[in-house]
Amino acid sequence: MINVLFFARIREQLGVAQLTIERADSVAQLLEHLVAKNGDVWAEVLCAPNVIVAVNQEVAEHTSELHNGDEVAFFPPVTGG
Amino acid sequence: MNEVSVQIEDFDTGVETTRLRALSAHTGAIATFIGVVSENVGVISEGIGAVSDSNENSRIVSLYLEHYPGMTEKSIAAIVQQTQQRWPLLGVRVIHRIGELQRGEQIVFVGVSSRHRGAAFDACEFIMDYLKTRAPFWKKETTQNGVHWVDARASDCAAAKRWESNDSA
């Protein structure tokens, strides 16, 4: 099971804060799965060039591997401080 | 002392600086930064020469700060650790508020103590530059015109980048 989180503008655009996926071997595969299931709007939102992906709370890449129990988060560029 | 707090509550800058001062008899300097919710919107538009609209309708009334619980604390702790490897510091205190903040309220506190002012000034600025570009916080602004997410600024990325080419500090 992979736990997937969405934050800020991305959460609002997708209308979802959190979901779980049975299995994905990489971030790219997770994205394919999410887009196949939810449609092209998800591709537009999640594959936009400035979207940051984190795996287990560390910034990662689309090529990053995933394992059972991982937490994956998608969020826009940060604007704190 | 290394202490990081992510909290809804306001903070007392006097209490925080007193704590930093009391840490060590070697303390010769304390540098602090306090971020405040101003009326100016975060990013107006891209391009040089974009000027803030002074119309009351486009001024900020309040801010909402969202964050990624867990990753926020981890990323700030990593920034503090990096800072301490780079400068000889006696204490570091970081407080970042979350949730709803009104115009004029404090958002962020960074306090650094050291033997000499150079390290304190630089470390304080380094922490802020990295906090702005690495810690997962997002600001949503409310103006009379509506509500919108703040866009990241290229100038913040440039500010953080300059530390990478200055490793001799």
pLDDT along chain B (169 residues), means of 10: 96 97 95 92 47 63 96 97 97 98 95 97 97 96 90 86 70
Tell me whether residues A78 and B137 touch, CB distance under 8 A: yes
Radius of gyration of chain A (CA): 12
Question: Looking at residue B155, what is its pLDDT?
Answer: 86
Is the alpha carbon torsion for B69, B133, A44, A26 positive or negative? negative
- pLDDT tens digits, A16-43: 999 999 999 999 999 999 999 999 999 9
Contact A79 B74 (CB under 8 A): no
Angular region, B70: left φ>0, alpha ψ -120 to 50, beta rest = left
**Residue A68 contacts B, CB cutoff 8 Å:** no
What's the DSSP call for residue A26?
B
Q: Is residue B67 within 8 Å of B140, Cβ to Cβ? A: no
- Residue A66 to residue B90: CA distance in whole angstroms: 40
Q: According to the model, what pLDDT value does residue B152 have?
A: 87
> Would you call B128 and A8 a contact, using CB atoms and an 8 Å cutoff?
no
Size of interface A-B (CB pairs under 8 A): 70
**Who among A9, A73, A79 is closest to B68 (CB)?**
A73
DSSP E strands in chain A: the ranges are 2-6, 18-21, 52-55, 58-60, 71-75
pLDDT above 70 as % of chain B: 88
- Which residues of chain A neighbour B133 with C-beta distances below 8 Å? 78
Three-class secondary structure of residue A39 per DSSP:
coil
Distance CA B63, CA B38 (A): 10
Report the alpha-carbon distance of residue B126 to residue B133 in Å, rounded. 11
pTM of the predicted structure, to 2 decimals: 0.90
Chain A CB contacts of B153 under 8 Å are 79
Tens-place pLDDT, residues B85-130: 999 999 999 999 999 999 999 999 999 999 999 999 999 999 999 9
User: What six digits make up the tokens of A68?
Assistant: 């059972």
Q: What is the ipTM of this complex?
A: 0.95
